[in-house]
Amino acid sequence: MTGRSLKSLTVLMLDDDPRMRSTVRAMLRALEVGHIGEALDDVRAHRELDRLVPDVLLCNESMHSTDVLDFVHGLRRWTAHPPAGLPVVLLSERGSTARLSAARKAGVTEFLWKPVSTRSLHESIRRAMEARRPSVRVDAYCGPDRRRGRVADRRHEADSAPAFDVRLSDAEIKVLLGN
């Protein structure tokens, strides 16, 4: 994925720290991301999700105003809206196994450890786009299939999973992945 291929992406940042938003915004601009939206809390994030229909959501785990994992979990239960399958990149200072597990269970797609560089941000967005898993709807969860391995054993489950609106065409995804 090259900087130019990011021109078609819309990225929404959820972060209440103005310095962090400014830093990440500058990095996204350097990567030539097409459209950058910002939200300071979960209420504004829901509004921006409706307005922007982003391709990727970047969340800062260290927010004071919002429990980001609760927000992502809620996003994954938001079955009436396409963002249930939205790739989510979590920016975090904490790297414990328990925290990673909790984030995966909430529906986080990719992790980005602070301090963040433009290169690491680019790689995280690329991996989040590549990691788009089949969407599933199970009980109170709707979003990317979190299970790993034995895909052939679950083929029948994938056939019955609801399809989500993917806002990028196959050609756009190939460009983003650098193919």
What does the alpha-carbon distance between residue 127 and residue 136 come to, in Å, rounded to a whole number? 20
pLDDT of 107 reads 86
pLDDT of 77 reads 78
pLDDT of 160 reads 41
* pLDDT reading at 2 higher than 50: no
pLDDT of 156 reads 39
pLDDT of 3 reads 43
* pLDDT reading at 166 higher than 50: no
Taking only the tens place, the pLDDT of each residue in 67-95 is 999 999 888 877 556 567 789 999 998 77
What does the alpha-carbon distance between residue 91 and residue 129 come to, in Å, rounded to a whole number? 16
Crossing angle for the helix pair 118-130 and 18-30, nearest 10 degrees?
Answer: 80
Which domains does the chain show, CATH number per domain? 4-176 (3.40.50.2300)
137 or 105, which is more confident: 105
Ramachandran angles phi, psi of 82, nearest 5°: -55, -25
* pLDDT reading at 29 higher than 90: yes
Say whether pTM exceeds 0.85.
Answer: no
Helix (H), strand (E) at residue 14: strand 10-14
Taking only the tens place, the pLDDT of each residue in 48-67 is 998 988 999 999 998 888 89
Taking only the tens place, the pLDDT of each residue in 106-165 is 889 898 988 999 999 999 999 988 866 666 666 666 666 666 554 444 433 434 444 444
111 or 171, which is more confident: 111
pLDDT of 165 reads 41
pLDDT of 7 reads 92
174 or 165, which is more confident: 174
3-state secondary structure 97-157: HHHHHHHHHHCCCEEEECCCCHHHHHHHHHHHHHCCCCEEEECCEEEECCCCCCHHHHHHH
Ramachandran region, residue 66 (left: φ > 0; alpha: ψ -120 to 50; beta: rest):
beta
With tokens 């054993």, the residue in question is: 153
